[in-house]
Structure 1
Amino acid sequence: MTYVVELVEHAPPVSVPLPDALGRAIAGLGIVDAVPDACDPGRWSLRAGSKVGAVAVTVPGHGETYTLRIVPKMPVARLFFLLGHSLDPAGSWRDGEVDVAEDEDLMPAFAHAVERQIDRALRQGPLQGYRVTEESSPLVRGRIREAEQIRRRFGATLPVEVRYDEFTVDIAENRILRAAVERLLRLPGVPREVRRRLLRQRSRLADVATLVLGRPLPEWRPSRLNARYHHALGLAHIVLENASPEHGPGGLRIDGFLFDMNKLFEDFVTVALREALRGTGHVARFQDLHHLDHARVVRLRPDLVLYTPDGRPCAVADAKYKAEKPRGYPEADLYQMLAYCTALGLRDGHLVYAKGSAEHTAHRVRHAGIVLHQHAVDLDQAAEGLLADVKRLANRMLSLA
């Protein structure tokens, strides 16, 4: 039997009946904030944070599956704009390739988008390339691995330990696409028609080896030869990097996919700022490593640091989807930005929030001469308005720099 629990991102908690083992598993995995309902034993209070998507948890021995659907506050089309701009600021992959207007829910829309991109990538057939192969062979092919031949064969001439370059479809790019297809087929909320199309894509990649769970994804390099794969691989990485663990405590089986809205907003803001600053002669770098102390022990990684043409830092920005207010430190974001400005020797720092999380204001730090600016980007507007807001922010950063 399947139970569906629907939550809304950052909405008030909802009390639902859950087995204790399942409630503890959800709390331990950090999918949502989960605590036992003190007033009603057998019920748990669930509150969604910044992660949106769907997760199905199956209780072993009971045949019961609980699906948590976490709905984003913004429209799905707006979320896809943020995602698309982060992956490809030119917007070429969105024009006519991913139509999410018919999908109001996140999972159907996302599965549809990934399938469309994989179909586009494979339209001319799977990409082929050279892959280094090491094996025991009855024939000499490529180079003989002499050390392995001696160690394994003790002087025998056959079989031969060889190493050669094989021209095949079983390359990193196709392995990543197949892994994404396999993952989507296991996720809850994927429509039947999209599943049928995904099965067709899997059959196209039948000669490609499946990836081993838990191992790092194979590396690939963008090039002219694999240009038609770039957008599909970008979405495939999102599928695989945001997938939930498949096994939880007590033998619970977990299948799901969750977007982290914090990461999505951060990626959009930093990429949009970089594009807005393009052509000014300045260089924008993401997650650049700096240190707070002379001993270089305390690491700092601002979301974006802007450098002058001669390589000096002139501005710093951090994107925050929600204001961080841990108990006892209600202004943690400001303290963090103050540390960035101090370490970089800057007089202005910029915190960028989604509107509604923090107001647009500036704080002048006593005895330091540093001004901490809080900017608000309104996500409840069309794409043109969003990019215009970021452009104004970029101009503000340049004027202060």
Structure 2
Amino acid sequence: MLLQGPEGLPFVLKEAHTEDDVDLDSATAAAISNLGIAAVMPVGPESWRITNIRRVGTVRLGSREVRIASKVPVAQLFHLLAVGQQWGEWHQDIVKLDQATDLYPAVSEAFSAVAAQALSGGVLRDYCEVQSAEPTIRGRWLVGEQIRRRHGLPLPAELQYDEYTANIPANRLIRSAARRLLGLGGISLAARARVMQIDRMLGEADLLIRGDQIPVVQHNRNTERYRAVLGLARLILTGGSLDHRVGGFASAGFLLDLAAVFESFVEHEMRRSAARFGGSIVGQDVTGLDVDGKVEIRPDIVWKIDGQVRAVFDAKYKAEKPAGFPNADIYQMLAYCIRHNVQTGHLVYAAGNEMPARYTIAQAGITVVCHALDLDRSPDELSAQIDRIVEAALPAGNGVA
């Protein structure tokens, strides 16, 4: 549902509501559609129907702020993110989000707390290769560069050497995320103070320039304490954040694609659970449906044993129930099962979107099982639900240890 408060206050979209008619100027309605927040349909002059909310968070469109609240509690949403994005041990002891209702301020609070914890042991440093022009010789003298750039002049010398420095990819990523949060605003004074302190502590690290590729940090024993904050920093700088023009607006904010979050969580939890039995869980496994491979299919998750697909899953976070639901999902799963020659396919829904059910297609000898994953449960209970789904899909007589 979309509520319009007094002038100057934000619009509030609530994912739990499936549709509502609102008064909205056409430019804002188009921006909501273009950002993939929801489906927008005109129902009258400057009146629009908002349905199928797909993203949650906060976005500013020109002078107007739109907030989209998730039906999944914010604290639980961070658990889904931590598992799906492999942030390692989530710091529930230092990140208190039980009372949080808005996602963007919660991200700011979580980032500031986790970053402060990661940096409490000191700023991480490492040896990095440096190439620079200097007045004295050290390291390797790049004679070719000296001739090309200095035209035979001996100084400054073009050098290459290793330096023990804080200007490493991990620190650049964290500092750049801190600057992004400070630039967007909308965070508490306490969180802002912590983020500013983080920025100062990492002052030796260069800021990423817009358009730079986000660095990939290979984790080891030294970087393990950075794992969670690097995950949050990447989320802030990439898929979870936005700062660009859409339609006629300069937009800035933080939005999450709930379907992608849910799918990633289910995949990684299934990988954990299936490890008990062997084989491998593979996400987004692309094959051809037809003989010539012209029709591509891509199940969300497959369970491979000895290189063969033995079970197929699709994770379905549904914002609404379209006409004929869940027929289209069953048709899709039927195609996956026929292609991979498995007799049972598994649709994993967020609870509230589909009840547990079984659909048997006698002519094809295939059964499609719908599972409902209750996201309001504790982390241990969520893991137990995934364990039961994996056990239900365990291929009989496969010889897996």
Q: Which amino acid aligns with 1:67?
A: E
Q: Residue by residue, what CA displacement relative to the aligned partner does 1:238-260 show, whole Å, maximum 9, x if unpaired? A: 2222112332333x221110121
Aligned to 1:386: 382
Query: Counterparts of 1:2-401 in structure 2 under 5 Å?
Result: 2-38=8-44, 41-47=45-51, 49-58=53-62, 65-87=63-85, 92-187=89-184, 189-241=186-238, 242-250=240-248, 252-308=249-305, 310-322=306-318, 331-365=327-361, 367-400=363-396
Scaled by the length of structure 1, the TM-score of the pair is 0.87
- Report which stretch shifted further, 192-201 or 167-176: 192-201
Q: Distance in 2 between matches of 1:206 and 1:298?
A: 52
- Answer whether contact 1:143 1:163 (CA < 8 A) is retained: yes
Q: Which amino acid aligns with 1:27?
A: S
- Answer whether contact 2:347 2:368 (CA < 8 A) is retained: yes
Task: State the Cα distance separating 1:223 from its structure 2 match.
Answer: 0.8
Instruction: Provide the alpha-carbon RMSD of the alignment.
Output: 2.8
- Answer whether contact 2:52 2:319 (CA < 8 A) is retained: no
Structure 2 unaligned regions, length at least 5: 1-6
Q: Which amino acid aligns with 1:24?
A: A
- Aligned in 2, Cα 1:182/1:3: closer, same or farther, shift over 3 Å? same
Q: Residue by residue, what CA displacement relative to the aligned partner does 1:55-77 show, whole Å, maximum 9, x if unpaired? A: 1122xxxxxx2111101112222
Q: Distance in 2 between matches of 1:13 and 1:189?
A: 27
- Answer whether contact 1:133 1:164 (CA < 8 A) is retained: yes
- Aligned in 2, Cα 1:391/1:136: closer, same or farther, shift over 3 Å? same
Task: State the Cα distance separating 1:352 from its structure 2 match.
Answer: 0.6
Task: State the Cα distance separating 1:373 from its structure 2 match.
Answer: 2.0
Q: Distance in 2 between matches of 1:10 and 1:134?
A: 54
- Answer whether contact 1:352 1:374 (CA < 8 A) is retained: yes
Q: Secondary structure at the match of 1:212?
A: coil
- Report which stretch shifted further, 42-51 or 100-109: 42-51
Q: Distance in 1 between matches of 2:267 and 2:348?
A: 10
- Answer whether contact 1:306 1:316 (CA < 8 A) is retained: yes
Q: Distance in 2 between matches of 1:150 and 1:295?
A: 57
Task: State the Cα distance separating 1:119 from its structure 2 match.
Answer: 0.7
- Answer whether contact 2:282 2:301 (CA < 8 A) is retained: yes
- Aligned in 2, Cα 1:220/1:78: closer, same or farther, shift over 3 Å? closer
Q: Number of residue pairs matched?
A: 390
Q: Secondary structure at the match of 2:394?
A: helix
